Protein backbone atom coordinates (compact mmCIF):
# COMPACT_ATOMS: atom_id res chain seq x y z
CA UNK A 1 0.00 0.00 0.00
CA UNK A 2 0.97 3.65 -0.27
CA UNK A 3 -0.03 6.79 1.59
CA UNK A 4 -0.30 10.39 0.46
CA UNK A 5 -1.49 13.68 1.92
CA UNK A 6 -4.83 14.94 0.69
CA UNK A 7 -5.61 18.58 1.49
CA UNK A 8 -8.99 19.99 0.54
CA UNK A 9 -11.29 22.94 1.13
CA UNK A 10 -14.22 23.10 3.52
CA UNK A 11 -15.93 26.47 3.65
CA UNK A 12 -12.67 28.36 3.28
CA UNK A 13 -10.58 26.17 5.60
CA UNK A 14 -8.01 23.64 4.39
CA UNK A 15 -8.63 20.19 5.85
CA UNK A 16 -5.82 17.66 6.10
CA UNK A 17 -6.20 13.95 5.43
CA UNK A 18 -4.09 10.88 4.72
CA UNK A 19 -5.14 8.63 1.85
CA UNK A 20 -4.10 4.98 2.02
CA UNK A 21 -4.54 2.95 -1.15
CA UNK A 22 -3.18 -0.08 -2.99
CA UNK A 23 0.29 0.54 -4.41
CA UNK A 24 0.20 -1.55 -7.57
CA UNK A 25 -3.44 -1.92 -8.60
CA UNK A 26 -6.55 0.19 -8.95
CA UNK A 27 -8.57 0.29 -5.71
CA UNK A 28 -12.04 -1.17 -5.41
CA UNK A 29 -14.82 1.06 -6.71
CA UNK A 30 -16.02 1.84 -3.18
CA UNK A 31 -13.68 3.74 -0.85
CA UNK A 32 -13.88 4.41 2.88
CA UNK A 33 -14.09 7.75 4.69
CA UNK A 34 -12.88 7.38 8.29
CA UNK A 35 -14.57 10.06 10.38
CA UNK A 36 -12.80 11.00 13.60
CA UNK A 37 -14.52 11.34 16.96
CA UNK A 38 -13.76 14.32 19.09
CA UNK A 39 -11.57 15.37 20.63
CA UNK A 40 -9.49 13.22 18.31
CA UNK A 41 -7.42 13.41 15.16
CA UNK A 42 -6.80 11.24 12.11
CA UNK A 43 -4.41 8.70 13.75
CA UNK A 44 -6.91 7.65 16.41
CA UNK A 45 -6.33 6.19 19.85
CA UNK A 46 -3.29 3.86 19.77
CA UNK A 47 -3.19 4.55 15.97
CA UNK A 48 -6.38 2.58 15.37
CA UNK A 49 -7.50 4.72 12.38
CA UNK A 50 -4.05 4.43 10.84
CA UNK A 51 -4.03 0.66 11.30
CA UNK A 52 -7.54 0.29 9.86
CA UNK A 53 -6.79 2.42 6.79
CA UNK A 54 -3.59 0.51 6.08
CA UNK A 55 -5.32 -2.83 6.53
CA UNK A 56 -8.02 -1.85 4.03
CA UNK A 57 -5.47 -0.48 1.55
CA UNK A 58 -3.41 -3.65 1.77
CA UNK A 59 -6.53 -5.53 0.70
CA UNK A 60 -7.49 -3.31 -2.19
CA UNK A 61 -9.72 -0.66 -0.57
CA UNK A 62 -8.76 3.04 -0.54
CA UNK A 63 -9.35 4.77 2.80
CA UNK A 64 -9.19 8.45 3.71
CA UNK A 65 -8.76 9.45 7.35
CA UNK A 66 -8.98 13.19 7.90
CA UNK A 67 -9.16 15.93 10.49
CA UNK A 68 -12.38 17.89 10.39
CA UNK A 69 -12.28 21.61 11.15
CA UNK A 70 -10.68 22.39 14.53
CA UNK A 71 -9.26 18.86 14.94
CA UNK A 72 -5.61 17.84 14.48
CA UNK A 73 -3.96 19.80 11.66
CA UNK A 74 -7.17 21.27 10.26
CA UNK A 75 -7.88 24.88 11.30
CA UNK A 76 -11.25 26.35 12.14
CA UNK A 77 -13.55 27.14 15.02
CA UNK A 78 -14.10 24.50 17.68
CA UNK A 79 -16.94 22.14 16.81
CA UNK A 80 -18.28 18.72 17.73
CA UNK A 81 -19.99 15.83 15.97
CA UNK A 82 -23.25 17.79 15.66
CA UNK A 83 -21.67 20.24 13.23
CA UNK A 84 -19.48 18.30 10.79
CA UNK A 85 -21.83 17.68 7.85
CA UNK A 86 -19.88 20.10 5.66
CA UNK A 87 -16.58 18.44 6.62
CA UNK A 88 -17.84 14.97 5.73
CA UNK A 89 -19.25 16.21 2.43
CA UNK A 90 -15.95 17.91 1.60
CA UNK A 91 -14.00 14.72 2.37
CA UNK A 92 -16.25 12.65 0.10
CA UNK A 93 -15.88 15.19 -2.71
CA UNK A 94 -12.11 15.35 -2.29
CA UNK A 95 -11.65 11.57 -2.32
CA UNK A 96 -13.84 11.00 -5.36
CA UNK A 97 -12.14 13.85 -7.22
CA UNK A 98 -8.65 12.62 -6.35
CA UNK A 99 -9.43 9.03 -7.36
CA UNK A 100 -12.00 9.10 -10.21
CA UNK A 101 -12.05 5.28 -10.32
CA UNK A 102 -13.97 5.37 -7.06
CA UNK A 103 -17.73 5.50 -7.53
CA UNK A 104 -19.08 5.77 -3.98
CA UNK A 105 -17.91 5.69 -0.37
CA UNK A 106 -18.59 4.02 2.94
CA UNK A 107 -18.66 6.18 6.06
CA UNK A 108 -16.84 4.61 9.03
CA UNK A 109 -17.13 6.06 12.52
CA UNK A 110 -16.42 5.19 16.15
CA UNK A 111 -18.37 6.70 19.05
CA UNK A 112 -19.64 10.20 18.19
CA UNK A 113 -18.15 9.83 14.70
CA UNK A 114 -20.65 6.99 14.16
CA UNK A 115 -23.36 9.35 15.35
CA UNK A 116 -22.05 12.04 12.98
CA UNK A 117 -22.31 9.59 10.06
CA UNK A 118 -26.00 8.95 10.77
CA UNK A 119 -26.68 12.66 11.27
CA UNK A 120 -25.02 13.29 7.91
CA UNK A 121 -27.33 10.78 6.24
CA UNK A 122 -30.34 12.36 7.93
CA UNK A 123 -29.51 15.88 6.78
CA UNK A 124 -28.17 15.16 3.28
CA UNK A 125 -29.39 11.75 2.02
CA UNK A 126 -26.13 11.84 0.04
CA UNK A 127 -26.40 9.29 -2.83
CA UNK A 128 -22.61 8.96 -2.88
CA UNK A 129 -22.76 6.98 0.38
CA UNK A 130 -22.88 3.24 -0.34
CA UNK A 131 -22.80 2.04 3.28
CA UNK A 132 -22.04 2.98 6.88
CA UNK A 133 -19.92 1.22 9.50
CA UNK A 134 -20.86 2.19 13.05
CA UNK A 135 -18.75 1.23 16.08
CA UNK A 136 -20.07 1.89 19.60
CA UNK A 137 -22.31 4.83 18.56
CA UNK A 138 -22.75 7.73 20.96
CA UNK A 139 -26.32 8.23 22.17
CA UNK A 140 -25.65 9.76 25.57
CA UNK A 141 -27.90 11.95 27.64
CA UNK A 142 -28.00 12.39 31.41
CA UNK A 143 -30.95 9.98 31.58
CA UNK A 144 -29.43 7.25 29.39
CA UNK A 145 -26.14 7.43 31.28
CA UNK A 146 -28.04 7.02 34.54
CA UNK A 147 -29.93 4.02 33.14
CA UNK A 148 -26.68 2.39 32.07
CA UNK A 149 -25.06 2.90 35.47
CA UNK A 150 -28.10 1.51 37.28
CA UNK A 151 -28.32 -1.56 35.04
CA UNK A 152 -24.67 -2.46 34.53
CA UNK A 153 -22.82 -1.00 37.52
CA UNK A 154 -25.01 -0.56 40.57
CA UNK A 155 -26.85 -3.86 40.13
CA UNK A 156 -23.48 -5.67 40.20
CA UNK A 157 -22.28 -3.62 43.17
CA UNK A 158 -25.42 -4.38 45.21
CA UNK A 159 -24.60 -8.09 44.93
CA UNK A 160 -21.05 -7.68 46.27
CA UNK A 161 -20.31 -8.44 49.92
CA UNK A 162 -17.70 -5.69 50.05
CA UNK A 163 -20.28 -3.03 49.18
CA UNK A 164 -22.49 -3.93 52.17
CA UNK A 165 -19.52 -4.07 54.52
CA UNK A 166 -18.56 -0.54 53.48
CA UNK A 167 -22.16 0.55 53.92
CA UNK A 168 -22.31 -0.83 57.47
CA UNK A 169 -19.09 1.01 58.31
CA UNK A 170 -20.53 4.26 56.96
CA UNK A 171 -17.91 4.48 54.21
CA UNK A 172 -18.22 4.90 50.47
CA UNK A 173 -21.19 2.54 50.37
CA UNK A 174 -23.45 5.26 51.76
CA UNK A 175 -22.21 7.71 49.15
CA UNK A 176 -22.82 5.11 46.45
CA UNK A 177 -26.42 4.64 47.63
CA UNK A 178 -27.03 8.37 47.41
CA UNK A 179 -25.56 8.40 43.90
CA UNK A 180 -27.74 5.41 42.97
CA UNK A 181 -30.83 7.26 44.14
CA UNK A 182 -29.94 10.22 41.94
CA UNK A 183 -29.33 7.97 38.96
CA UNK A 184 -32.67 6.25 39.48
CA UNK A 185 -34.44 9.63 39.36
CA UNK A 186 -32.68 10.50 36.09
CA UNK A 187 -33.24 7.05 34.61
CA UNK A 188 -36.99 7.23 35.20
CA UNK A 189 -37.11 10.26 32.90
CA UNK A 190 -35.26 8.62 30.02
CA UNK A 191 -38.34 7.26 28.27
CA UNK A 192 -40.62 10.28 28.79
CA UNK A 193 -41.65 12.12 25.63
CA UNK A 194 -40.17 15.55 24.98
CA UNK A 195 -42.01 18.60 23.78
CA UNK A 196 -39.03 20.29 22.10
CA UNK A 197 -37.52 19.56 18.69
CA UNK A 198 -36.02 16.18 17.88
CA UNK A 199 -32.96 15.10 19.81
CA UNK A 200 -29.79 14.12 18.00
CA UNK A 201 -30.55 10.49 18.91
CA UNK A 202 -33.90 10.74 17.11
CA UNK A 203 -32.20 12.32 14.12
CA UNK A 204 -29.70 9.44 14.07
CA UNK A 205 -32.60 7.00 13.94
CA UNK A 206 -34.24 8.96 11.13
CA UNK A 207 -31.01 8.90 9.13
CA UNK A 208 -30.66 5.16 9.57
CA UNK A 209 -34.31 4.45 8.78
CA UNK A 210 -34.18 6.40 5.51
CA UNK A 211 -30.92 4.76 4.41
CA UNK A 212 -31.41 1.68 2.26
CA UNK A 213 -27.75 0.69 1.95
CA UNK A 214 -25.83 -1.85 4.05
CA UNK A 215 -24.99 -1.02 7.66
CA UNK A 216 -22.34 -2.58 9.88
CA UNK A 217 -22.79 -2.21 13.64
CA UNK A 218 -19.96 -3.36 15.94
CA UNK A 219 -20.54 -3.27 19.70
CA UNK A 220 -17.86 -3.76 22.35
CA UNK A 221 -18.75 -5.86 25.38
CA UNK A 222 -16.49 -3.94 27.75
CA UNK A 223 -17.86 -0.49 26.99
CA UNK A 224 -20.54 1.59 28.72
CA UNK A 225 -21.05 3.68 25.56
CA UNK A 226 -22.08 0.58 23.62
CA UNK A 227 -24.36 -0.61 26.43
CA UNK A 228 -25.90 2.83 26.69
CA UNK A 229 -26.57 2.89 22.96
CA UNK A 230 -28.24 -0.53 23.00
CA UNK A 231 -30.36 0.41 26.00
CA UNK A 232 -31.49 3.59 24.32
CA UNK A 233 -32.20 1.91 20.97
CA UNK A 234 -34.31 -0.79 22.63
CA UNK A 235 -36.39 1.67 24.65
CA UNK A 236 -36.86 4.46 22.09
CA UNK A 237 -39.84 4.45 19.75
CA UNK A 238 -37.74 6.23 17.14
CA UNK A 239 -35.33 3.28 17.05
CA UNK A 240 -37.97 0.53 16.98
CA UNK A 241 -36.95 -2.28 14.63
CA UNK A 242 -33.81 -0.57 13.34
CA UNK A 243 -31.31 -2.99 14.86
CA UNK A 244 -32.98 -6.02 13.28
CA UNK A 245 -33.26 -4.74 9.72
CA UNK A 246 -32.02 -7.17 7.06
CA UNK A 247 -29.62 -4.51 5.76
CA UNK A 248 -27.86 -4.29 9.15
CA UNK A 249 -25.09 -6.68 10.20
CA UNK A 250 -24.53 -6.70 13.97
CA UNK A 251 -21.28 -7.96 15.48
CA UNK A 252 -20.80 -8.22 19.24
CA UNK A 253 -17.19 -8.29 20.46
CA UNK A 254 -17.46 -9.39 24.11
CA UNK A 255 -13.86 -8.72 25.16
CA UNK A 256 -13.33 -5.42 23.34
CA UNK A 257 -13.21 -2.05 25.07
CA UNK A 258 -14.41 1.23 23.60
CA UNK A 259 -11.41 1.84 21.32
CA UNK A 260 -10.42 -1.81 20.70
CA UNK A 261 -7.14 -1.15 22.47
CA UNK A 262 -6.07 -4.81 22.66
CA UNK A 263 -4.28 -5.72 19.45
CA UNK A 264 -6.36 -8.88 18.98
CA UNK A 265 -9.57 -6.83 19.17
CA UNK A 266 -8.21 -4.21 16.78
CA UNK A 267 -7.24 -6.95 14.33
CA UNK A 268 -10.68 -8.55 14.66
CA UNK A 269 -12.60 -5.36 13.97
CA UNK A 270 -10.39 -4.68 10.93
CA UNK A 271 -11.20 -8.15 9.58
CA UNK A 272 -14.91 -7.72 10.28
CA UNK A 273 -14.94 -4.38 8.46
CA UNK A 274 -13.08 -5.76 5.45
CA UNK A 275 -15.28 -8.86 5.20
CA UNK A 276 -18.40 -6.71 5.41
CA UNK A 277 -17.10 -4.35 2.73
CA UNK A 278 -16.38 -7.26 0.40
CA UNK A 279 -19.71 -9.01 0.87
CA UNK A 280 -22.06 -6.07 1.30
CA UNK A 281 -20.56 -2.99 -0.38
CA UNK A 282 -18.05 -3.78 -3.09
CA UNK A 283 -20.63 -5.46 -5.30
CA UNK A 284 -22.90 -2.39 -5.28
Where along the chain do its domains lie? 2-141+198-281, 143-188
Q: What is the pLDDT of residue 149?
A: 45
153-157 LR contacts (CB < 8 Å, sep 24+): 154/180, 154/183
pLDDT > 80? residue 25: yes
For residue 198, CA distances in Å to 138, 194, 202 come to: 16, 8, 6
Kindly state the average pLDDT of the residues 62-86: 94
Provide φ and ψ at 221, rounded to 5°: -75, -30
DSSP 252: E
User: Tens of pLDDT along 122-131?
Assistant: 999 999 999 9
| Other beta carbons within 10 Å of 238 | 17
Q: Is residue 146 classed as helix, strand or coil in its secondary structure?
A: helix
DSSP characters over 67-127:
EPTTSTT--SS---GGG-HHHHHHHHHHHHHH-TT--EEEEEEETHHHHHHHHHHHHH--T
Q: What is the pLDDT of residue 282?
A: 87
**With contact defined as beta carbons under 8 Å apart, do 158 and 139 qualify?**
no
pTM of the model: 0.81
CA distance 253 to 143: 25
Q: What is the pLDDT of residue 50?
A: 97
Look over the chain and give the mean of its residue pLDDT values, rounded to a whole number: 87
Q: Is residue 35 classed as helix, strand or coil in its secondary structure?
A: strand
pLDDT > 90? residue 185: no
Give percent above pLDDT 90 in the chain: 73
Decide which of 3.40.50.1820, 3.40.50.1220, 2.60.120.650, 3.90.25.10 is the CATH code for 2-141+198-281.
Answer: 3.40.50.1820
**With contact defined as beta carbons under 8 Å apart, do 83 and 48 qualify?**
no
**With contact defined as beta carbons under 8 Å apart, do 114 and 190 qualify?**
no
Amino acid sequence: MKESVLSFDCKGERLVGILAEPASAAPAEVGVIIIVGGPQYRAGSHRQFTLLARHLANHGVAALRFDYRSMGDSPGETRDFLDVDADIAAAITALLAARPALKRVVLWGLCDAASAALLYLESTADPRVAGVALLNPWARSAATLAQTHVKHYYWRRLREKGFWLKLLRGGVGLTALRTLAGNLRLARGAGKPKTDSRSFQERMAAGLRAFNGPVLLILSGDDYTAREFVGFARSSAAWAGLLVRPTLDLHDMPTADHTFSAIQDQDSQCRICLDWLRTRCLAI
